[in-house]
Amino acid sequence: MANHASHDESGQMDDPEMGSTWFYSFVGIIFFIAFCLAVSVLFFGVQRDFVDERIVDEKPALAAGVKLSQQSLLGQYGTYAEDVDEKKVERIRIPIDRAMEIMAKGATTKQGE
């Protein structure tokens, strides 16, 4: 009985080669971090190349000319045609200031009713 009580069977075992276990753990962590960094560099490098290919070089002078022509259309009367249900429909264009006046009058008349 005394022999049985002195024997400890708690299930814990000490690592016989503690130095090598620490070394392999450290090396494994370093390899894992290097692998994660390499994958992220490759991913973001490919993504950056994809974005660079998708960006269209816009000429600022061309964009300024288009903007000026669109702004001039906002300030003048005119007509234009558009396709609606496969039919040509004539539309009338009015200046933006006049359109805002009409909308403001319509809003005040609706509030007065």
**Residue 52 binned pLDDT confidence (cut-offs 50, 70, 90):** low
The answer as to whether 34 is a domain residue is: no
From residue 110, alpha-carbon distances to 6, 96, 100 in Å are: 99, 21, 15
Three-class HEC string of 33-57: HHHHHHHHHHHHHHHHHHHHHHCCC
- pTM value is 0.36
Copy the structure tokens of residue 44. Answer: 């973001």
**Mean pLDDT over the full length of the chain:** 79
Tell me, yes or no, whether 32 lies in a domain. no
Scanning the chain, the segments in alpha helix (DSSP H) are 2-6, 18-54, 60-74, 96-112
Domain assignment present for 68? no
Domain encompassing residue 102: 73-113
Q: What is the mean pLDDT of residues 78-104?
A: 89
Higher pLDDT: 45 or 51? It is 45
- pLDDT value at 5 more than 60: no
Task: Tell me the mean pLDDT in the region 37-45.
Answer: 84
Could you give the number of structural domains in the chain? 1
CA dist., res. 72 & res. 64, Å (int): 12
Specify if 8 maps to a domain: no
Partnered with residue 89 across adjacent β-strands are 82
User: Is 38 inside any structural domain?
Assistant: no
54 lies in some domain: no
Q: In this structure, is residue 14 part of a structural domain?
A: no
Higher pLDDT, 89 or 48: 89
**11 located within any domain:** no
| Percent with pLDDT over 70 in the chain | 71
Report whether pLDDT(6) > 60: no
58 closest CA partner among 67, 70, 49: 67
